[in-house]
Amino acid sequence: MVLRLEDIPGLIYRGAKEIRRSLLFVEGVSGVGYDEMVVVRAPDGIDRVGRVIEVGRGFAVIQVFGGEMGLQTDIAVKFTGSTFKIPVSDEVLGRMFNGRFEPIDGMPPVVSDDLRDVNGSPINPAARVYPNNFIQTGISAIDGMLSLVRGQKLPIFSESGLPHNRIIAQIARQATVLGEAEEFAIVFAAMGLKNDEARFFIEQFRESGAIERSVIILNLADDPAIERLLTPRIALTVAEYMAFDLEMHVLAILSDMTNYCEALREISAAREEVPGRGGYPGYMYSDLATIYERAGIIAGRKGSLTQMPVLTMPGGDLRHPIPDLTGYITEGQIILSRELYSRGIYPPINVLPSLSRLMRSGIGPGKTRDDHKDVADQLYDAYSRGVRARDLARIVGEMGLSERERRYLKFADAFEKRFVNQGEYENRSIDETLDLAWELLAMLPEEELVRIREKYIKKYHPKYRAAAAS
Protein backbone atom coordinates (compact mmCIF):
# COMPACT_ATOMS: atom_id res chain seq x y z
CA MET A 1 0.00 0.00 0.00
CA VAL A 2 1.41 3.40 -0.88
CA LEU A 3 1.57 5.54 2.20
CA ARG A 4 3.32 8.82 2.54
CA LEU A 5 4.20 10.60 5.70
CA GLU A 6 2.00 13.49 4.69
CA ASP A 7 -1.04 11.22 4.33
CA ILE A 8 -1.16 10.47 8.02
CA PRO A 9 -2.58 12.78 10.61
CA GLY A 10 -0.92 13.25 13.95
CA LEU A 11 2.46 13.96 15.45
CA ILE A 12 5.75 13.40 13.76
CA TYR A 13 8.42 11.90 15.96
CA ARG A 14 11.98 12.67 15.02
CA GLY A 15 15.09 10.69 15.68
CA ALA A 16 15.74 7.09 16.60
CA LYS A 17 17.81 5.99 19.53
CA GLU A 18 19.26 3.07 17.72
CA ILE A 19 18.98 1.22 14.44
CA ARG A 20 19.80 -2.43 14.36
CA ARG A 21 19.48 -3.78 10.82
CA SER A 22 15.81 -3.29 10.06
CA LEU A 23 14.82 -2.57 13.65
CA LEU A 24 14.29 0.95 14.83
CA PHE A 25 14.29 1.82 18.51
CA VAL A 26 12.47 5.08 19.18
CA GLU A 27 11.90 6.93 22.42
CA GLY A 28 9.69 9.67 23.70
CA VAL A 29 6.61 8.30 21.97
CA SER A 30 3.22 7.91 23.56
CA GLY A 31 -0.10 6.36 22.67
CA VAL A 32 1.53 3.82 20.41
CA GLY A 33 -0.29 0.52 19.92
CA TYR A 34 1.29 -2.89 19.66
CA ASP A 35 1.41 -4.17 16.08
CA GLU A 36 0.52 -0.71 14.77
CA MET A 37 1.67 0.31 11.33
CA VAL A 38 4.07 3.23 11.03
CA VAL A 39 5.57 5.27 8.24
CA VAL A 40 9.22 6.11 8.48
CA ARG A 41 11.04 8.73 6.41
CA ALA A 42 14.81 8.69 6.40
CA PRO A 43 16.99 11.51 5.14
CA ASP A 44 16.97 9.83 1.73
CA GLY A 45 13.39 11.04 1.42
CA ILE A 46 11.97 7.56 0.90
CA ASP A 47 8.89 6.60 2.92
CA ARG A 48 8.93 3.09 4.32
CA VAL A 49 6.26 1.28 6.21
CA GLY A 50 6.99 -0.47 9.44
CA ARG A 51 5.29 -2.30 12.26
CA VAL A 52 5.50 -1.92 16.02
CA ILE A 53 6.78 -5.19 17.39
CA GLU A 54 7.21 -4.11 20.97
CA VAL A 55 6.02 -1.07 22.87
CA GLY A 56 6.40 0.27 26.38
CA ARG A 57 5.97 3.55 28.17
CA GLY A 58 7.90 6.06 26.13
CA PHE A 59 9.50 3.63 23.72
CA ALA A 60 8.69 1.50 20.73
CA VAL A 61 10.53 -1.01 18.61
CA ILE A 62 9.68 -0.80 14.94
CA GLN A 63 10.40 -3.32 12.28
CA VAL A 64 10.90 -1.43 9.05
CA PHE A 65 9.90 -2.93 5.73
CA GLY A 66 11.06 -1.57 2.43
CA GLY A 67 14.78 -1.82 2.96
CA GLU A 68 17.12 -0.83 5.73
CA MET A 69 19.74 0.76 3.48
CA GLY A 70 19.71 4.50 3.96
CA LEU A 71 18.12 4.37 7.40
CA GLN A 72 19.73 6.78 9.83
CA THR A 73 18.98 7.82 13.33
CA ASP A 74 17.93 11.14 11.88
CA ILE A 75 14.48 10.08 10.76
CA ALA A 76 10.84 11.02 10.98
CA VAL A 77 8.24 8.55 12.22
CA LYS A 78 4.47 8.70 12.19
CA PHE A 79 2.16 6.16 13.78
CA THR A 80 -0.97 5.31 11.82
CA GLY A 81 -3.03 4.16 14.79
CA SER A 82 -3.98 0.89 13.13
CA THR A 83 -2.53 -2.46 12.18
CA PHE A 84 -1.32 -3.17 8.67
CA LYS A 85 -4.41 -3.23 6.53
CA ILE A 86 -4.94 -3.39 2.82
CA PRO A 87 -7.92 -2.23 0.79
CA VAL A 88 -9.72 -4.99 -1.10
CA SER A 89 -12.25 -4.92 -3.90
CA ASP A 90 -12.85 -6.95 -7.03
CA GLU A 91 -10.46 -4.54 -8.74
CA VAL A 92 -7.59 -6.61 -7.38
CA LEU A 93 -8.22 -9.27 -10.03
CA GLY A 94 -5.68 -9.26 -12.80
CA ARG A 95 -3.38 -6.93 -10.91
CA MET A 96 0.25 -7.04 -9.91
CA PHE A 97 1.75 -5.64 -6.70
CA ASN A 98 5.03 -5.55 -4.89
CA GLY A 99 5.53 -7.14 -1.48
CA ARG A 100 4.01 -4.11 0.25
CA PHE A 101 0.92 -4.10 -1.95
CA GLU A 102 2.01 -1.17 -4.09
CA PRO A 103 0.96 -1.61 -7.72
CA ILE A 104 3.78 -2.46 -10.09
CA ASP A 105 1.67 -2.82 -13.20
CA GLY A 106 1.49 0.88 -13.92
CA MET A 107 -2.12 1.09 -12.79
CA PRO A 108 -3.42 3.11 -9.87
CA PRO A 109 -3.61 1.67 -6.35
CA VAL A 110 -6.69 -0.25 -5.31
CA VAL A 111 -9.17 2.07 -3.66
CA SER A 112 -11.73 0.70 -1.25
CA ASP A 113 -13.25 1.35 2.13
CA ASP A 114 -13.01 -2.34 2.83
CA LEU A 115 -9.75 -2.56 4.73
CA ARG A 116 -8.49 -5.95 5.88
CA ASP A 117 -5.86 -6.67 8.49
CA VAL A 118 -3.14 -8.63 6.74
CA ASN A 119 -2.72 -10.87 9.76
CA GLY A 120 -6.19 -12.28 9.23
CA SER A 121 -8.04 -14.12 11.97
CA PRO A 122 -8.22 -17.83 12.65
CA ILE A 123 -11.11 -19.64 11.06
CA ASN A 124 -13.34 -21.08 13.76
CA PRO A 125 -12.86 -24.86 13.41
CA ALA A 126 -16.61 -25.22 13.83
CA ALA A 127 -17.09 -23.04 10.72
CA ARG A 128 -14.87 -25.21 8.56
CA VAL A 129 -16.18 -27.66 6.03
CA TYR A 130 -13.99 -30.72 5.82
CA PRO A 131 -12.50 -30.61 2.30
CA ASN A 132 -13.42 -33.47 0.00
CA ASN A 133 -13.43 -32.29 -3.62
CA PHE A 134 -10.76 -34.04 -5.64
CA ILE A 135 -8.65 -31.73 -7.79
CA GLN A 136 -7.33 -33.46 -10.87
CA THR A 137 -3.89 -32.08 -11.63
CA GLY A 138 -3.27 -34.43 -14.53
CA ILE A 139 -0.05 -35.54 -12.87
CA SER A 140 -0.19 -39.27 -12.07
CA ALA A 141 2.05 -39.25 -9.02
CA ILE A 142 -0.10 -36.57 -7.44
CA ASP A 143 -3.56 -37.64 -8.55
CA GLY A 144 -2.94 -41.32 -7.99
CA MET A 145 -1.01 -41.26 -4.76
CA LEU A 146 -1.05 -37.76 -3.26
CA SER A 147 -4.40 -36.46 -4.28
CA LEU A 148 -4.98 -32.80 -3.75
CA VAL A 149 -8.39 -31.61 -2.62
CA ARG A 150 -10.00 -28.22 -2.71
CA GLY A 151 -9.22 -26.25 0.44
CA GLN A 152 -6.08 -28.22 1.25
CA LYS A 153 -2.66 -26.80 2.06
CA LEU A 154 -0.16 -29.00 0.28
CA PRO A 155 3.40 -27.75 -0.07
CA ILE A 156 6.17 -28.79 -2.42
CA PHE A 157 9.48 -29.51 -0.72
CA SER A 158 12.18 -28.97 -3.30
CA GLU A 159 15.85 -28.24 -3.65
CA SER A 160 17.53 -25.61 -5.69
CA GLY A 161 17.94 -26.71 -9.25
CA LEU A 162 14.86 -28.93 -9.26
CA PRO A 163 11.89 -28.13 -11.48
CA HIS A 164 9.40 -27.09 -8.81
CA ASN A 165 8.43 -24.00 -10.77
CA ARG A 166 7.54 -26.05 -13.82
CA ILE A 167 5.52 -28.46 -11.71
CA ILE A 168 3.62 -25.66 -9.99
CA ALA A 169 2.95 -24.07 -13.36
CA GLN A 170 1.72 -27.39 -14.72
CA ILE A 171 -0.60 -27.81 -11.76
CA ALA A 172 -1.91 -24.27 -12.12
CA ARG A 173 -2.50 -24.93 -15.82
CA GLN A 174 -4.18 -28.31 -15.50
CA ALA A 175 -6.00 -28.25 -12.18
CA THR A 176 -9.71 -28.93 -12.52
CA VAL A 177 -12.41 -30.27 -10.31
CA LEU A 178 -14.16 -33.12 -12.09
CA GLY A 179 -17.59 -32.18 -13.28
CA GLU A 180 -17.10 -28.48 -12.72
CA ALA A 181 -16.40 -25.90 -15.34
CA GLU A 182 -15.14 -23.17 -13.07
CA GLU A 183 -11.43 -22.64 -13.25
CA PHE A 184 -9.17 -21.76 -10.38
CA ALA A 185 -8.30 -18.18 -9.65
CA ILE A 186 -4.66 -17.85 -8.77
CA VAL A 187 -2.96 -15.77 -6.14
CA PHE A 188 0.74 -15.91 -6.66
CA ALA A 189 3.10 -14.62 -3.97
CA ALA A 190 6.79 -14.54 -4.74
CA MET A 191 9.22 -14.19 -1.87
CA GLY A 192 12.79 -13.67 -2.92
CA LEU A 193 12.33 -15.26 -6.33
CA LYS A 194 14.71 -14.36 -9.11
CA ASN A 195 13.44 -12.07 -11.80
CA ASP A 196 13.36 -14.74 -14.49
CA GLU A 197 11.51 -17.17 -12.20
CA ALA A 198 8.81 -14.60 -11.56
CA ARG A 199 8.64 -13.78 -15.25
CA PHE A 200 8.23 -17.46 -16.07
CA PHE A 201 5.10 -17.62 -13.91
CA ILE A 202 3.63 -14.43 -15.26
CA GLU A 203 4.16 -15.71 -18.81
CA GLN A 204 2.52 -18.99 -17.86
CA PHE A 205 -0.52 -17.30 -16.40
CA ARG A 206 -0.74 -15.06 -19.43
CA GLU A 207 -0.59 -17.95 -21.87
CA SER A 208 -3.23 -19.95 -20.08
CA GLY A 209 -5.44 -16.93 -19.68
CA ALA A 210 -5.38 -17.36 -15.92
CA ILE A 211 -3.95 -13.88 -15.53
CA GLU A 212 -7.41 -12.31 -15.64
CA ARG A 213 -8.36 -14.27 -12.54
CA SER A 214 -4.99 -13.85 -10.89
CA VAL A 215 -3.38 -11.57 -8.41
CA ILE A 216 0.38 -11.46 -8.44
CA ILE A 217 2.39 -10.21 -5.51
CA LEU A 218 6.09 -10.02 -6.06
CA ASN A 219 8.90 -9.64 -3.64
CA LEU A 220 11.92 -10.47 -5.74
CA ALA A 221 15.43 -11.48 -4.81
CA ASP A 222 16.63 -7.88 -4.96
CA ASP A 223 13.67 -6.50 -3.00
CA PRO A 224 13.98 -5.88 0.72
CA ALA A 225 14.19 -9.20 2.53
CA ILE A 226 12.20 -8.04 5.56
CA GLU A 227 9.24 -7.28 3.36
CA ARG A 228 8.89 -11.01 2.86
CA LEU A 229 7.31 -11.18 6.28
CA LEU A 230 4.45 -9.17 4.85
CA THR A 231 4.18 -10.60 1.34
CA PRO A 232 2.46 -13.94 2.08
CA ARG A 233 0.09 -12.26 4.52
CA ILE A 234 -0.95 -9.72 1.92
CA ALA A 235 -1.38 -12.49 -0.63
CA LEU A 236 -3.53 -14.56 1.70
CA THR A 237 -5.62 -11.57 2.72
CA VAL A 238 -6.40 -11.06 -0.96
CA ALA A 239 -6.93 -14.78 -1.43
CA GLU A 240 -9.34 -14.99 1.51
CA TYR A 241 -11.23 -12.05 0.13
CA MET A 242 -11.51 -13.74 -3.25
CA ALA A 243 -12.49 -17.10 -1.78
CA PHE A 244 -14.86 -16.06 0.96
CA ASP A 245 -16.24 -12.75 -0.31
CA LEU A 246 -16.12 -13.13 -4.08
CA GLU A 247 -16.74 -16.88 -3.62
CA MET A 248 -14.11 -17.99 -6.10
CA HIS A 249 -12.07 -21.16 -5.96
CA VAL A 250 -8.60 -19.85 -5.27
CA LEU A 251 -5.25 -21.55 -5.59
CA ALA A 252 -2.63 -19.63 -3.64
CA ILE A 253 0.99 -20.30 -4.53
CA LEU A 254 3.61 -19.10 -2.05
CA SER A 255 7.16 -19.39 -3.26
CA ASP A 256 9.72 -19.62 -1.70
CA MET A 257 8.84 -20.03 1.98
CA THR A 258 12.50 -20.66 2.79
CA ASN A 259 13.18 -17.02 1.99
CA TYR A 260 10.33 -16.05 4.27
CA CYS A 261 11.79 -18.06 7.14
CA GLU A 262 15.18 -16.52 6.62
CA ALA A 263 13.68 -13.07 6.99
CA LEU A 264 12.04 -14.24 10.19
CA ARG A 265 15.36 -15.46 11.49
CA GLU A 266 16.96 -12.16 10.62
CA ILE A 267 14.43 -10.20 12.65
CA SER A 268 14.77 -12.57 15.55
CA ALA A 269 18.53 -12.18 15.54
CA ALA A 270 18.25 -8.41 15.42
CA ARG A 271 16.01 -8.58 18.49
CA GLU A 272 18.58 -10.74 20.19
CA GLU A 273 16.04 -13.43 20.97
CA VAL A 274 17.12 -16.84 22.18
CA PRO A 275 17.62 -18.72 18.93
CA GLY A 276 16.02 -22.11 18.38
CA ARG A 277 17.14 -24.90 16.07
CA GLY A 278 19.27 -23.61 13.20
CA GLY A 279 19.03 -20.09 14.57
CA TYR A 280 15.35 -19.87 13.69
CA PRO A 281 13.18 -18.44 16.44
CA GLY A 282 11.29 -20.76 18.77
CA TYR A 283 7.99 -19.27 17.65
CA MET A 284 8.52 -20.13 13.99
CA TYR A 285 5.97 -22.95 14.21
CA SER A 286 3.26 -20.59 15.44
CA ASP A 287 4.28 -17.95 12.96
CA LEU A 288 4.17 -20.31 10.00
CA ALA A 289 0.85 -21.63 11.20
CA THR A 290 -0.68 -18.17 10.92
CA ILE A 291 0.18 -18.41 7.22
CA TYR A 292 -0.51 -22.03 6.35
CA GLU A 293 -3.74 -22.32 8.31
CA ARG A 294 -5.23 -19.68 6.07
CA ALA A 295 -6.63 -22.27 3.72
CA GLY A 296 -9.87 -24.18 3.67
CA ILE A 297 -13.56 -24.02 3.08
CA ILE A 298 -16.09 -22.18 5.22
CA ALA A 299 -19.65 -23.35 5.74
CA GLY A 300 -22.11 -21.22 3.84
CA ARG A 301 -19.52 -19.69 1.50
CA LYS A 302 -19.16 -20.97 -2.01
CA GLY A 303 -15.47 -20.41 -2.57
CA SER A 304 -12.43 -22.24 -1.33
CA LEU A 305 -8.80 -21.46 -0.65
CA THR A 306 -6.25 -24.08 -1.63
CA GLN A 307 -2.64 -23.40 -0.75
CA MET A 308 0.49 -24.69 -2.44
CA PRO A 309 3.55 -23.28 -0.75
CA VAL A 310 6.93 -24.07 -2.23
CA LEU A 311 10.08 -24.29 -0.22
CA THR A 312 13.62 -25.32 -0.96
CA MET A 313 15.07 -27.57 1.71
CA PRO A 314 18.44 -26.15 2.75
CA GLY A 315 21.02 -28.81 2.04
CA GLY A 316 18.25 -31.06 0.74
CA ASP A 317 17.58 -31.94 4.37
CA LEU A 318 14.01 -32.93 5.18
CA ARG A 319 14.75 -32.48 8.88
CA HIS A 320 15.83 -28.89 8.51
CA PRO A 321 13.53 -26.71 10.64
CA ILE A 322 11.85 -25.10 7.62
CA PRO A 323 10.50 -28.26 5.96
CA ASP A 324 10.11 -29.90 9.36
CA LEU A 325 7.86 -27.24 10.86
CA THR A 326 6.03 -26.84 7.58
CA GLY A 327 5.26 -30.54 7.42
CA TYR A 328 3.93 -30.40 10.95
CA ILE A 329 1.40 -27.76 9.89
CA THR A 330 0.43 -28.49 6.31
CA GLU A 331 -1.84 -31.26 5.16
CA GLY A 332 0.91 -33.29 3.63
CA GLN A 333 3.92 -32.59 1.46
CA ILE A 334 5.13 -33.35 -2.03
CA ILE A 335 8.83 -34.09 -1.93
CA LEU A 336 11.04 -33.76 -4.97
CA SER A 337 14.14 -35.86 -5.34
CA ARG A 338 17.39 -34.86 -6.93
CA GLU A 339 18.18 -38.50 -7.55
CA LEU A 340 15.05 -39.06 -9.60
CA TYR A 341 15.63 -35.85 -11.52
CA SER A 342 19.16 -36.83 -12.38
CA ARG A 343 17.76 -40.03 -13.82
CA GLY A 344 15.61 -37.94 -16.12
CA ILE A 345 12.32 -38.36 -14.29
CA TYR A 346 9.94 -35.43 -14.49
CA PRO A 347 8.20 -34.61 -12.21
CA PRO A 348 10.81 -36.05 -9.84
CA ILE A 349 8.37 -36.74 -7.03
CA ASN A 350 9.53 -39.16 -4.39
CA VAL A 351 6.17 -40.55 -3.40
CA LEU A 352 7.33 -42.53 -0.38
CA PRO A 353 7.99 -39.69 2.08
CA SER A 354 5.35 -37.58 0.36
CA LEU A 355 1.82 -37.52 1.69
CA SER A 356 -1.55 -35.99 1.16
CA ARG A 357 -3.46 -36.08 4.41
CA LEU A 358 -6.76 -35.17 2.84
CA MET A 359 -6.52 -37.67 0.01
CA ARG A 360 -8.81 -40.25 1.49
CA SER A 361 -11.72 -37.86 1.81
CA GLY A 362 -11.40 -36.78 -1.82
CA ILE A 363 -11.16 -40.12 -3.56
CA GLY A 364 -13.12 -43.30 -3.97
CA PRO A 365 -16.46 -44.22 -5.49
CA GLY A 366 -18.39 -41.27 -6.83
CA LYS A 367 -15.34 -39.05 -6.47
CA THR A 368 -12.55 -40.67 -8.44
CA ARG A 369 -12.92 -44.44 -8.73
CA ASP A 370 -13.81 -47.23 -6.33
CA ASP A 371 -10.42 -48.92 -6.56
CA HIS A 372 -8.39 -45.75 -6.01
CA LYS A 373 -7.57 -46.14 -2.30
CA ASP A 374 -6.58 -49.77 -2.59
CA VAL A 375 -4.52 -49.18 -5.69
CA ALA A 376 -2.66 -46.27 -4.11
CA ASP A 377 -1.94 -48.35 -1.03
CA GLN A 378 -0.65 -51.22 -3.12
CA LEU A 379 1.55 -48.90 -5.18
CA TYR A 380 3.15 -47.56 -2.01
CA ASP A 381 3.77 -51.03 -0.71
CA ALA A 382 5.14 -52.39 -3.96
CA TYR A 383 7.29 -49.39 -4.72
CA SER A 384 8.80 -49.33 -1.23
CA ARG A 385 9.67 -53.01 -1.60
CA GLY A 386 11.21 -52.26 -4.97
CA VAL A 387 13.29 -49.43 -3.58
CA ARG A 388 14.47 -51.67 -0.75
CA ALA A 389 15.39 -54.35 -3.27
CA ARG A 390 17.30 -51.77 -5.27
CA ASP A 391 19.27 -50.75 -2.18
CA LEU A 392 19.98 -54.37 -1.47
CA ALA A 393 21.10 -55.01 -5.03
CA ARG A 394 23.70 -52.30 -4.57
CA ILE A 395 25.27 -54.46 -1.87
CA VAL A 396 24.70 -58.05 -2.94
CA GLY A 397 24.29 -57.49 -6.66
CA GLU A 398 21.13 -58.19 -8.56
CA MET A 399 21.97 -61.87 -8.67
CA GLY A 400 21.89 -62.04 -4.89
CA LEU A 401 18.25 -61.04 -4.86
CA SER A 402 15.47 -63.53 -4.54
CA GLU A 403 13.18 -63.88 -7.49
CA ARG A 404 10.52 -62.00 -5.61
CA GLU A 405 12.86 -59.15 -4.86
CA ARG A 406 13.94 -58.97 -8.47
CA ARG A 407 10.33 -58.67 -9.50
CA TYR A 408 9.79 -55.78 -7.14
CA LEU A 409 12.94 -54.11 -8.37
CA LYS A 410 11.64 -54.31 -11.91
CA PHE A 411 8.36 -52.93 -10.75
CA ALA A 412 10.06 -49.95 -9.11
CA ASP A 413 11.95 -49.13 -12.29
CA ALA A 414 8.81 -49.29 -14.37
CA PHE A 415 6.87 -47.31 -11.81
CA GLU A 416 9.34 -44.47 -11.97
CA LYS A 417 9.72 -44.47 -15.74
CA ARG A 418 6.09 -44.84 -16.66
CA PHE A 419 3.93 -43.76 -13.78
CA VAL A 420 5.86 -40.94 -12.12
CA ASN A 421 7.51 -39.78 -15.28
CA GLN A 422 5.34 -37.85 -17.68
CA GLY A 423 5.38 -34.88 -20.00
CA GLU A 424 5.24 -31.33 -18.79
CA TYR A 425 2.24 -30.83 -21.01
CA GLU A 426 0.79 -34.27 -20.54
CA ASN A 427 -2.52 -34.08 -18.75
CA ARG A 428 -3.61 -37.54 -17.62
CA SER A 429 -7.15 -38.15 -16.49
CA ILE A 430 -7.62 -40.00 -13.22
CA ASP A 431 -8.87 -43.03 -15.16
CA GLU A 432 -5.74 -43.04 -17.25
CA THR A 433 -3.64 -42.75 -14.12
CA LEU A 434 -5.36 -45.68 -12.40
CA ASP A 435 -5.35 -47.85 -15.48
CA LEU A 436 -1.65 -47.23 -15.83
CA ALA A 437 -1.21 -48.24 -12.20
CA TRP A 438 -2.98 -51.53 -12.90
CA GLU A 439 -0.78 -52.19 -15.90
CA LEU A 440 2.24 -51.87 -13.64
CA LEU A 441 0.76 -53.84 -10.77
CA ALA A 442 0.06 -56.66 -13.20
CA MET A 443 3.82 -57.18 -13.32
CA LEU A 444 3.46 -58.71 -9.86
CA PRO A 445 1.84 -62.05 -9.08
CA GLU A 446 -1.79 -61.60 -8.16
CA GLU A 447 -1.28 -63.05 -4.67
CA GLU A 448 1.05 -60.21 -3.88
CA LEU A 449 -1.70 -57.65 -4.29
CA VAL A 450 -3.01 -58.11 -0.77
CA ARG A 451 -3.79 -54.47 -0.24
CA ILE A 452 -6.38 -54.49 -2.98
CA ARG A 453 -9.72 -56.01 -2.21
CA GLU A 454 -10.52 -59.01 -4.36
CA LYS A 455 -13.56 -57.42 -5.94
CA TYR A 456 -11.39 -54.69 -7.41
CA ILE A 457 -8.84 -57.18 -8.64
CA LYS A 458 -11.64 -58.95 -10.45
CA LYS A 459 -12.93 -55.68 -11.81
CA TYR A 460 -9.74 -53.89 -12.86
CA HIS A 461 -6.83 -56.30 -13.11
CA PRO A 462 -5.80 -56.40 -16.79
CA LYS A 463 -5.98 -60.19 -16.68
CA TYR A 464 -9.68 -60.22 -15.83
CA ARG A 465 -10.43 -57.24 -17.98
CA ALA A 466 -8.91 -58.96 -20.98
CA ALA A 467 -10.91 -62.06 -20.17
CA ALA A 468 -14.08 -60.05 -19.85
CA ALA A 469 -13.41 -58.32 -23.15
CA SER A 470 -12.87 -61.54 -25.09
Ligand X SMILES: Nc1ncnc2c1ncn2[C@@H]1O[C@H](COP(=O)(O)OP(=O)(O)O)[C@@H](O)[C@H]1O
CA-CA distances (angstroms) from residue 89 to 113, 258, 306, 328? 9, 30, 20, 34
User: Which is nearer to other proteins, 143 or 223 (by Cβ)?
Assistant: 143
Q: Which residue in 72, 82, 195, 429 binds other proteins (CB under 8 A)?
A: 82
Q: Annotate 443-469 with DSSP letters as a single string.
A: TS-GGG-TTS-HHHHHHH-HHHHHHHH
Please list every residue from 399 through 418 that binds other proteins, using CB under 8 A: 400-403, 405
CB 33 within 8 A of CB 55: yes
Order of strands across the sheet that contains 214-220: 95-98, 214-220, 185-193, 249-255, 304-312, 156-158, 332-335, 355-356
- Residue 178 CB, shortest distance to ligand X, in Å, is 21
Among 126, 181, 468, 469, contact with other proteins (rule: CB under 8 A): 126
159 binds, among other proteins, ligand X, none (CB under 5 to 8 A by kind): none
Label residue 67 exposed, middle or buried (CB < 10 Å: 0-12, 13-18, 19+).
middle
State how far the alpha carbon of 290 is from the alpha carbons of 52, 112, 202, 363, in Å. 18, 25, 27, 28
Q: Which are the contacts of 146, defined by CB distance < 8 A and separation ≥ 6?
A: 154, 332, 334, 349, 351, 354, 355, 356, 359
Q: Which of residues 286-315 bind other proteins (CB under 8 A)?
A: 286, 289-290, 293-294, 296, 298-301
Touching other proteins, residues 191-220 (CB under 8 A): none
The least CB distance from residue 147 to ligand X, in Å, is 11
Residue 120 is a binding residue for other proteins (CB under 8 A):
yes
Half-sphere exposure of 419 (CA within 13 A, CB side): 30
Q: Which stretch binds ligand X (CB under 6 A): 20-28, 69-77, 354-362, 397-405?
A: 354-362
How many whole angstroms separate alpha carbon 84 and alpha carbon 398?
62
Q: How far is the CB of 364 from ligand X (least distance, A)?
A: 13
**296 contact, one of other proteins, ligand X, none, CB 5-8 Å limit per kind:** other proteins
Out of other proteins, ligand X, none, what residue 466 binds, judged by CB under 5 to 8 A for its kind, is none
- Among other proteins, ligand X, none, the one that 14 touches (CB under a kind-dependent 5 to 8 A) is none
Interface map 7-36 toward other proteins (x if CB under 8 A): -----------------------xxxxxxx
Q: Which does 453 bind (CB under 5 to 8 A by kind): other proteins, ligand X, none?
A: other proteins
Judged by CB under 6 A, does residue 357 bind ligand X? yes
CA distance 165 to 9: 44
- What is the nearest approach in angstroms of other proteins to the Cβ of residue 64? 18
Q: Indicate whether 450 belongs to the interface with other proteins (CB under 8 A).
A: yes
Query: Binding to other proteins by residue 329, rule CB under 8 A?
Result: yes
Give the shortest CB-60-to-other proteins separation in angstroms.
Answer: 9
Q: Which is nearer to ligand X, 146 or 250 (CB)?
A: 146
| Least distance CB 122 / other proteins (angstroms) | 5
Residue 453 touches ligand X, criterion: CB under 6 A: no
- 156 sits near other proteins (criterion: CB under 8 A): no
Residue closer to other proteins (CB basis): 213 or 407: 407
Query: HSE on the CB side for 425, CA within 13 Å?
Result: 2
Omega of the bond leading into 323 within 30 degrees of 0 (cis):
no
Cβ density class 401-417: b for 16+ within 10 Å, e for less: beeebbbbbebbeebbe
Question: Is residue 394 a contact residue for other proteins (CB under 8 A)?
Answer: no
Using the rule CB under 6 A, is 451 a contact of ligand X? no
The item of other proteins, ligand X, none sharing an interface with residue 344, based on CB under 5 to 8 Å by kind, is none
Task: Determine the Cα–Cα distance for residues 439 and 444; give it in Å rounded to an integer.
Answer: 10
Of residues 130 through 159, those in contact with ligand X by CB under 6 A are none
Q: Cα dist. 367→294, 372, 373 in Å?
A: 25, 10, 11
Q: How far apart are CA 442 and CA 437, in angstroms?
A: 9
Between CA 172 and CA 203 the distance in angstroms is 12
Site residues for ligand X per CB under 6 A:
355, 357, 360
